[in-house]
């Protein structure tokens, strides 16, 4: 009996030694963990070690609301997203975001292969879901920043969007997030589309030029890097995503996710160029159709069903393992390129990066003068946007006007004044701020494109009784022709974001109106769709027109 016991103990010790030696050998040979190894070598080594369960986990992206360290560990999840304004807490601080992301990350790092997650968010005009982050103008406003030389051929100076991309990346990384679902490179051909303001222009060349935001978000491609391969430089940059696949800006009647009917030449000449430029500039990801993307974004709440179904299809040879391996390699390429294997946890040091008139009496009127939510539009804190001034930090246009005028100038604000009030107060000037309420895709589709009734009434009451400037806060051109005869100056401010001072500065002449229309301004909605080059092109204002008058519409500021 003693001999048997001794033999058994020796056998156990031998097995333990072999297991220890094997584990040690595996650890020593984990090439994918060696930073100095070639990228493809690291990718192939890691994929060769992965089970089907681990591979499918990498292809799965879930919403933060159902994520936890335990879920990340159990299902080997590869990515988490904040969908449609999903936040850890209302008005959450950067530290709160970081703690959440790091908790999920630690769940991933505790798995057998310790593959880090990548966290994604819709930072489409600044870090727009995060309280106190900088909200930049939506893309339609940035499309107006191109310059117009004397020969009337528009040139494009994309340095501004590159700087915006860099600032956005810094604030996104300051909350521990690695990945933004931006930029939108859709060529919006119909302003009835609810996502019109997410498009830089109807002009494919202008949209193509604005893909310069990608090196702002991701960093400049190094000289020794391959063109067209994903590239992200440093811990203050993020992975970008060119979206939403070729042709999404050309749907019938501008209805979101409707069919796009177009010939091959039109598809390649109008909708393809921005996507091609994005790829050449090293964009990390492309959003595709029919869930044809490698990291399946659209399983935020039903990941268990997706994992079960995909596992079944692979095991039954309906989907070949080679397709799974190809998808996983593409995902891992981005993670390795970003340095997530070396520095998977968020860097707390980035937290602090979260970034006059002499006239005697001015009337400021309209629903959009003192409403930060209306200034920012959709995709701000929440998916469809918000109304009011408590959604985040910023300066309303009304506050900016009061900060701009001389101390002796009285600024009177009345949201919906009647004509009698305007006439009886003898205002020297009036500024009317009207436009659209916030919206995003679906809810924003609009076949009429008229200003809301209250806004139309304010224009008539004010501009019919005083010298007025009408400033439109919209995500697209709207019907304005019926009111032009009573408007002294018309300004298309688009969706300017949190910094209303930028609007006040040009209203009072600190800066000139140098913007050019990024979209054709139609006469009536019956003309739509109508774009430059169309045979029926008869616009109210074309792409070559200024966004307002050259001279400041208000007297010189203090």
Measured distance CA(80)–CA(379) in Å, rounded? 18
Measured distance CA(371)–CA(35) in Å, rounded? 50
364 three-state secondary structure: strand
Measured distance CA(377)–CA(474) in Å, rounded? 8
pLDDT at 432 over 90: yes
1 falls in which pLDDT band (50, 70, 90)? very low
Tens digit of each residue's pLDDT (9 = 90 or more) over 182-207: 999 999 999 999 999 999 999 999 99
Residue 187 is inside which H or E element, if any? Answer: none
275 falls in which pLDDT band (50, 70, 90)? very high
Instruction: Find the mean pLDDT for residues 412-419.
Output: 96
Residue 433 is inside which H or E element, if any? Answer: strand 429-435
| Rounded percentage of the chain residues whose pLDDT exceeds 70 | 87
Determine the pLDDT at residue 40. 96
What is the 3-state composition of the chain as percent helix, strand, coil, each rounded to the nearest 5?
A: 40, 10, 50
Residues 6+ apart with CB under 8 A from 302: none
- Residue (of 175, 169, 143) closest to 158 by Cα position: 143
Determine the pLDDT at residue 147. 61
515 falls in which pLDDT band (50, 70, 90)? confident
Determine the pLDDT at residue 83. 85
Tens digit of each residue's pLDDT (9 = 90 or more) over 7-55: 344 444 444 444 444 444 455 579 999 999 999 999 999 999 999 999 9
Measured distance CA(403)–CA(490) in Å, rounded? 22
350 falls in which pLDDT band (50, 70, 90)? confident
CB 530 within 8 A of CB 477: no
CB 432 within 8 A of CB 470: yes
| Predicted model pTM | 0.82
DSSP state at residue 395: B
Measured distance CA(226)–CA(233) in Å, rounded? 14
Q: Which CATH architecture has domain 356-527?
A: 3-Layer(aba) Sandwich (3.40)
Q: Which CATH architecture has domain 57-351?
A: Alpha-Beta Barrel (3.20)
Determine the pLDDT at residue 245. 84
Determine the pLDDT at residue 550. 36
- Which two tokens mark 430? 């009036």
- Residue (of 264, 234, 227) closest to 173 by Cα position: 234
Q: Which residue carries 């870090």 as its tokens? A: 127
Residue-range domain boundaries for the chain: 57-351, 356-527
Determine the pLDDT at residue 152. 42
- Residue (of 12, 9, 17, 15) closest to 1 by Cα position: 9
Instruction: Find the mean pLDDT for residues 325-334.
Output: 95
Tens digit of each residue's pLDDT (9 = 90 or more) over 107-150: 999 999 999 999 999 999 999 999 989 999 999 999 998 764 44
Between strands 79-82 and 241-242, the pairing is unpaired
């Amino acid at each position: 009996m003693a001999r048997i016991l001794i033999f058994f103990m020796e056998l156990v010790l031998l097995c333990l030694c072999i297991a220890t030696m094997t584990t040690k050998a595996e650890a020593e040979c984990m090439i994918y963990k060696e930073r100095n190894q070639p990228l493809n070598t690291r990718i192939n080594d890691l994929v060769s070690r992965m089970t089907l369960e681990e591979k499918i986990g990498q292809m799965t992206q879930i919403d933060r609301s159902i994520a936890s360290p335990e879920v990340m560990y159990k299902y080997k999840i590869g990515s988490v997203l904040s969908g449609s304004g999903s936040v850890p807490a209302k008005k959450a601080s950067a530290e709160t975001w970081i703690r959440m992301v790091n908790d999920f990350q630690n769940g991933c790092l505790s798995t057998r292969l310790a593959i880090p997650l990548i966290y994604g968010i819709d930072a489409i005009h600044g870090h727009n879901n995060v309280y106190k982050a900088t909200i930049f103008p939506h893309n339609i406003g940035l499309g107006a920043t191109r310059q117009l030389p004397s020969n009337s051929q528009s040139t494009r100076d994309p340095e501004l969007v590159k700087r915006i991309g860099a600032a956005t990346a810094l604030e996104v990384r300051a909350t521990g997030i690695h990945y933004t679902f931006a930029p939108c490179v859709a060529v919006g051909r119909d302003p009835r589309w609810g996502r019109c303001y997410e498009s830089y222009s109807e002009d494919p060349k202008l949209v193509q030029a604005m893909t310069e935001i990608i090196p702002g978000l991701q960093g400049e491609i190094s000289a020794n890097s391959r063109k067209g391969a994903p590239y992200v430089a440093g811990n203050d940059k993020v992975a970008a995503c060119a979206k939403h696949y070729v042709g999404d800006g050309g749907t019938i009647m501008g209805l979101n996710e409707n069919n796009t009917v177009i010939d091959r030449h039109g598809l390649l000449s109008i909708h393809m160029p921005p996507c091609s430029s994005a790829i050449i500039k090293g964009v990390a990801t492309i959003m595709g159709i029919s869930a044809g993307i490698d990291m399946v974004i659209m399983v935020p709440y039903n990941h268990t069903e997706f994992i079960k179904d995909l596992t079944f299809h692979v095991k039954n040879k309906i989907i070949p393992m080679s397709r799974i391996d190809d998808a996983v390699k593409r995902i891992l390429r981005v993670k390795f390129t970003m340095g997530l294997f070396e520095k998977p946890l968020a860097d707390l040091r980035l937290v602090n990066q979260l970034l006059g008139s002499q006239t005697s009496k001015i009337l400021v009127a309209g629903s959009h003068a003192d409403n930060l939510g209306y200034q920012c539009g959709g995709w701000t804190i929440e998916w469809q946007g918000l109304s009011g001034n408590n959604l985040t930090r910023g300066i309303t246009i009304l506050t900016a006007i009061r900060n701009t005028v001389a101390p002796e100038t009285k600024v009177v604000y009345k949201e919906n004044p009647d004509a009698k009030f305007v006439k009886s107060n003898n205002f020297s000037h009036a500024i009317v701020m009207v436009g659209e309420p916030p919206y995003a895709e679906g809810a924003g589709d609009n076949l009429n494109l008229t200003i809301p009734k209250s806004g139309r009434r304010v224009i008539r009451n004010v501009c019919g009784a005083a010298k007025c400037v009408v400033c439109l806060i919209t995500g697209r051109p709207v019907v304005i022709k019926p009111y032009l005869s009573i408007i002294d100056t018309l300004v298309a401010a688009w969706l300017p974001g949190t910094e209303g001072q930028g609007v006040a500065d040009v209203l009072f002449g600190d800066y000139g109106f140098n913007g050019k229309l990024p979209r054709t301004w139609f006469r009536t909605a019956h003309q739509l769709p109508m774009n430059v080059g169309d045979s029926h092109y008869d616009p109210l204002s074309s792409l070559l027109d200024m966004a307002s008058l050259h001279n400041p519409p208000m007297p010189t500021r203090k």
